[in-house]
Structure 1
Amino acid sequence: MEALIKKAKDGDRHALATLIDTHKTIAFNLALKITNSEEEAKDITQESFLTVLENIKKFRNEAKFSTWLYRIVYNEALRVIKRKSVPIEGKHADALATESTDSLEQRESRQRLDAAIQELNENERVVILLFYMAEKTIKEITSITGFTESNTKVLLHRGRKQLKERLENEHQEKS
């Protein structure tokens, strides 16, 4: 990955395209989870990659490339939300991509999980998504979001607890 980043910084468009292809799905999903709008998520992802293109030479390798990119996506998504003053607590029908090989039960489980994630507050949702979906460490999440390490841990703990409670309550209601 470091060689690819170096090539991209040196102006290799193919290397930059490879970096973008590698991270485009997770960047889009992060934007989608924050905005709950596919159109806005597409725009945010595109703007974020334009920012990467314009600033790749400034990337200092102090963090992972993905952390730098997700920070850009996160900030762009927050900028869009603030500009529109739209609450991000809404529902999104199918934000977690499901593969055609998933069984009906797996898809339903993913939809229930997605719905439960959408019910979390913005900060808890972002931390949960970065930790589990983007597989970021606590340190990387703090770098992306600007939260303190202890705040990130608290948000992750609260988010997990609320997800567990919501999913258990839903299961009990069905029984």
Structure 2
Amino acid sequence: MDALITEAKNGDKEAFVRLIRMNKQSLYKTAWIYLRDEQDIADALQNTILSCYENIQRLREPKYFKTWLMRILINECKDILRQKNHAAELDDFAEGVHCEELNLCEWKQLLLCLDKESRKIVELYYFDEFSVKEISALLEMNSNTVSTKLSRARAKLKKVIRR
């Protein structure tokens, strides 16, 4: 993947397109978490891809491409939310959530017991498969804070499930 990123930084348009295709599902899911509106998601994705294309030479470390790309997307989502002057709700999960014991509706209800920030961390960790380090970069939080919030959210979810 580093070679592909280097090619894109050197102006290879096809390499850039391949990078975006490799990350399109994560981009969509993250935009959905913030915006939950197809038109807003499309705008955020379009602006993110354009910004990434125009600024890819600024990326210092190829290994952080996905984190950098997601940070651009999150900033775009926040801009859209500011323009619409409303707060994002994270009551719905991204598509494709699977669990043998709970269906999607039950997961939605279960996550409602968490505060918004913890819900966002749980979704990014379990459903978008980001590492604690990546989440801390995306949300501009200390890694220890993310770990603590994730641990507390797990404990709370276990407690609710056992009732």
Alignment of 1:14-163 (within 5 A): 14-61=14-61, 63-89=63-89, 91-92=91-92, 95-98=93-96, 109-117=103-111, 120-163=114-157
Describe the superposition over 1:23-78 as per-residue Cα deviations: whole angstroms up to 9, x where unpaired: 01111111101222222222212211111111111111165211111111122212
Using the size of structure 1 for normalisation, the TM-score is: 0.78
Q: Deviations over 1:66-114 (max 9, x none)?
A: 111111112221222223221322644xx43249xx8xx96x7123224
Unaligned ranges ≥5, structure 2:
none
**One-letter identity of the residue aligned with 1:28:** Y
Distance 1:45 1:115, change over 3 A: farther
Q: How many residues align structurally?
A: 163
Aligned residues of 1:96 and 1:114 also touching (Cα < 8 A): no
Q: 1:82 to 1:118 in 2, by over 3 A?
A: farther
Q: CA, structure 1 residues 46+164, in 2 after alignment: closer, same or farther (shift >3 Å)? A: farther
Return closer, same or farther for 1:90/1:25 CA change in 2, 3 Å cut-off: closer
TM-score (normalizing by structure 2): 0.83
User: In the alignment, is the contact (CA less than 8 A) between 1:124 and 1:159 conserved in 2?
Assistant: yes
Task: Please tell me the root mean square deviation across aligned C-alpha atoms, in Å.
Answer: 2.6
Gaps of 5+ in 1: 170-175
Percent identity reads 27
